[in-house]
A and B are shown apart, each in its own frame.
Chain A
Amino acid sequence: MRQSIVHWFKFASPQSFYPLAGRMIPWFWAAAAIFGISGLWISFFVAPTDAQQGEGYRIIFVHVPASWMSMFIYLVMAFWAGLGLALNTRVSGMMAQALAPTGALMAALSLWTGALWGKPMWGAWWVWDARLTSELILFFLYLGFMALQAAIDDPRRADKAGAILALVGVVNIPIIYFSVKWWNTLHQGSTINLTKAPSMAQTMLWGMMLMALAFWMYSIAVALMRVRAIILERERHTEWVKHAVE
């Protein structure tokens, strides 16, 4: 039992995590490529044309996975941030820092594809729908997290301050989501109902799932690559980094 605890904490040290991350990255890239190619193939060639929306609906295969990832990454980021705060492990803070840009990218991608989808379907680039608005606020939360980390020079303090912000954000996300939802129902008798998805063809669901897995693998691969860069930057004064870079 004691053996296994020691084993896990071993990777809390940047020196042992760096090579581990390096070994995992190619696998996640490969998985991302396999899921991505098969997902794109299904979404472009296999999935049937939608009866109401024509071909335009196919952007859903990027839009929905990006939205899912943007929300999920915030939770993962807050998890690492909280772990770093509780156990004082350095790699946890680095993981949180490495995940934030990918999460912000996913939120931006989700907003962008949403706008591209909204224009032909609803005739507007943007509507103040509850989901769009809360996604926008999530994007702001990512920006705030990254700005705070960038503004603090001492990386340990940046990690801890960012961790508190991420945890405060996690507590607030459900509050923000429901407040925006109720605000929305109060203000507009919404003519566009996003929640009522027409029953989806089985192949469409498969395409979306594969694309979600591809996004997932991509996010892990990119976050690991970024965390490796952060480790090198922060540990540049150590002996092992000098050997690792050679």
Chain B
Amino acid sequence: MNAFFATVRRDLLLALRRKSEVLTAVFFFVIVTSLFPLGIGPEPVLLKKIAPGILWVAALLATLLGLPRLFAADHVDGTLEQMALSPSPLGMLVAGKILAHWLLCGLPLVLLAPVLGLQFDLDASALGILTLALLLGTPLLSLIGAIGAALTLGVRGGGVLLALLVLPLYIPALIFGAGAVEAHIAGLGAGGHLSLLAAMLALAVFFAPWATTAALRIALE
């Protein structure tokens, strides 16, 4: 467990020394969501209706943008190999890296989403549901994405390939995440969607670090 927290701390520290990389993904999120009203038109009714979907798709893409960095630098300088050789289980270290990735790429999106939601005229309770859904959903995105990042490590055209592998697997998170807000707005209650999202997160917390570790070992062979 110590190794887990040490990995989280190390990755956070490294990211804070190079802030621009983290901030790029966050600004990407802001810019993409701002592009939709410009493309579609400023009608508040329409924008309010499509807001959850837009924010979620933008969160998906922003998470995807940060994924190649998850293992790439450590792979290049050999840290990853040392991690695989270290006495602490690689799965634990990988879980730490995924948590650090979420804190850097996912959490800022969760915190920004309510502000961006205001642009789309969402009311306070809908903003609350949106934030809660993203809070449950973005760790799921990081966990699933880590599998893809490990599989495409050091592969030709890794970035684009990563999108092709990971985006279809993100679809359930998108459906239930955006669906929670829409169901809430429609007066149906978001409980079911949020529970399903939480269930998927529990499943991913258990399986994804394991699959990521297996994929990393293949990449390191």
Contacts and interface: CB of A to CB of B under 8 A. Distances in A.
Interface stretch (B70-78, B101-109, B127-135, B148-156): B148-156
Given A175-B200, A183-B179, A152 B168 contact: no
B57 to A, nearest CB: 14
B182 interface: yes
Contacts of B147: 164, 168
B interface bracket (residues with beta carbon within 8 Å of A): 20 to 34
Interface in B178-203: 179, 182-183, 188, 196, 200
A151 interface: yes
Contact of A165 (B151, B158, B167, B179): B151
A153 B157 CA distance: 12
Interface stretch (B81-89, B90-98, B211-219): B211-219
A176 B171 contact: yes
A interface bracket (residues with beta carbon within 8 Å of B): 20 to 34
Given A148-B151, A186-B182, A165 B175 contact: no
Nearest to B199: A175
B161 interface: yes
A180 B171 contact: yes
B120 interface: no
B172 A175 contact: yes
A143 B152 CA distance: 15
B176 interface: yes
B164 interface: yes
Contacts of B182: 186
Contacts of A172: 169, 172
Contact of B168 (A141, A151, A183): A141
A182 interface: yes
A144 interface: yes
A85 to B, nearest CB: 8
Contact of B155 (A137, A151, A175, A186): A151
Contacts of B169: 168-169, 172, 176
A76 to B, nearest CB: 19
Nearest to A181: B175
Contacts of A141: 168
A160 interface: yes
Given A140-B168, A164-B151, A151 B161 contact: yes
A6 interface: no
A203 interface: no
A161 interface: yes
A234 interface: no
B155 to A, nearest CB: 5
Contacts of B151: 148, 161, 164-165
A179 B171 contact: yes
B207 interface: yes
A152 B155 contact: yes
B221 interface: yes
Given A152-B155, A168-B169, A175-B200, A143 B164 contact: yes
A124 interface: no
22 contacts: A140-B168, A143-B164, A144-B168, A147-B161, A153-B156, A157-B218, A157-B219, A157-B221, A161-B215, A164-B147, A164-B151, A164-B214, A171-B207, A172-B172, A175-B200, A176-B169, A176-B172, A179-B172, A179-B175, A180-B175, A183-B179, A186-B183
